[in-house]
Structure 1
Amino acid sequence: MEGPLEPDSSSMRISDDDRHRVAEQLREAAGAGRLDLDELDERLEATYAARTYADLVPITRDLPVLPASRPASTPVVAGPESERHLAILSGLERTGVWVVPQHLKVFAMMGGADLDLREARFSAPEVVISVSCFMGGAQITVGPDVNVVMEGTGIMGGYSGPNDALGIVDPSRPTVRVRGVAVWGGVSVERRS
């Protein structure tokens, strides 16, 4: 294992730069007519009062991640660069609204992980989820608008799921790259609405 575990990304404290990025997204949405001035004021107030990444997610949930004038190939929100989790004789569950870091590492030994990315926001256009299992497993659920690239190796176990690397990856959609090794265990990716 590499270094100490990092805290849950949604509970990590944000910086002024993170607040400014969200405020700029709100101003651009108002300029495009997506928010009226009262909504803009309310959301800006909530943005500058936010303390964690989880506080920022509901503020922009119903807005496009980038304005129409920029390419839609980088649907990102502010978030930590990496996060690590252990599930030893236990489980890890991430569901609902949360920010997926650019690098997420999970180790499951005689335990399991359930990562539901359908309501999650991504901190980078491409995120890498490294899942290594020993007599354990992981289930990853993605939405229909997410590219999936499977790069895992199974040893008396397996990695299964859609693999868009075999076709054309749509650059306007977020990409989840799944890596790791499953020994006497498995990692499964499922695409659902």
Structure 2
Amino acid sequence: MTAEKPPAVRLGKESPPPVRASDGDRDRVAEILAEALAEGRIDADEHAERVDAVYAARTVDELGPLIRDLPAGQPPAPARASAGGPGAAPPHGGHGARNVVAVLSGAARRGRWSTGGTINAVAVLGGVELDFTQAMFEQQYVTVNAVALLGGIEIRVPENVSLRCEGTGFLGGFEVEEAEAADPDAPVVIVKGWAILGGVDAKPVRGKRVKDLRRD
């Protein structure tokens, strides 16, 4: 008589159930996609497709693949010991582009802030305000890459700053009140990008001048 085999024993742990995505998880991924659009890593069609998938996602696992090919979606690199030994300060790198992103929300830069050389401004169903009237111009030329998708971007500069336009509107408005400063060394703000079913509005503010700030 043949003895019956005992039932198989499962080894290891069962996979945990998928974690439900929160509204904050979706908004964070949508912001990463908006920055990727502003930086030219993905185009407008791909951005729209991925954003639709973001807000249709039910679990965190569904969000990961949508940003896996972007820098912000990469796993952190292992820490390396610096030449100065433990506790040494990291080397100083160059200043990258400033990203001002509004996804279903608002974002602003105003008051005393450093402009840098490049600003990526993205408004997706939201609004962005860039107020240069009290800003500190670190470089003479400042490029604003403005992308308004069902949103609005408002840009204000001092009256003695040159303002130039290299943007386009598609079923939206891209309005820049161009101006050339009399001083050839004055800061120059160049507004690039596009507006789709949204608006970009840039103009000088009368009575605000860069030289007034330098007296502070």
TM range (shorter): 0.5 to 0.7
Other structure's SS at 1:85 match: strand
| Counterpart among 96, 113, 138 of residue 128 in structure 2 | 113
Query: For 1:133-164, what per-residue CA distance to the aligned partner results, in whole angstroms no more than 9, with x for missing partners?
Result: 10001100111110001111100111112223
* Closer/same/farther in 2, CA of residues 124 and 90 from structure 1, 3 Å limit: same
Say whether 1:155 aligns with 2:163. no
Other structure's SS at 1:176 match: strand
User: What is the distance in 2 between the residues matched to 1:168 and 1:145?
Assistant: 5
Q: Who is 1:183 aligned against?
A: 196
Say whether 1:143 aligns with 2:158. yes
User: What is the distance in 1 between the residues matched to 2:144 and 2:182?
Assistant: 17
Kindly state the Cα deviation for residue 83 of structure 1 after the two structures are TM-superposed. 1.4
Structure-to-structure mapping, 1:1-193, within 5 angstroms: 1=36, 2=39, 3-4=71-72, 80-164=95-179, 170-192=183-205, 193=208
Q: Percent identity?
A: 32
Q: Which runs of 5+ in 2 are unaligned?
A: 1-35, 40-70, 73-93, 209-216
* Closer/same/farther in 2, CA of residues 169 and 182 from structure 1, 3 Å limit: farther
Q: Which structure would you say has the larger RCO, counting Cα contacts within 8 Å and 6 or more residues apart?
A: 1
Q: Who is 2:17 aligned against?
A: none
Q: Who is 2:83 aligned against?
A: none
Kindly state the Cα deviation for residue 176 of structure 1 after the two structures are TM-superposed. 0.2
CA RMSD of superposed structures (Å): 2.1
Residue-pair matches, total: 118
Query: What TM-score, normalized to structure 1?
Result: 0.57
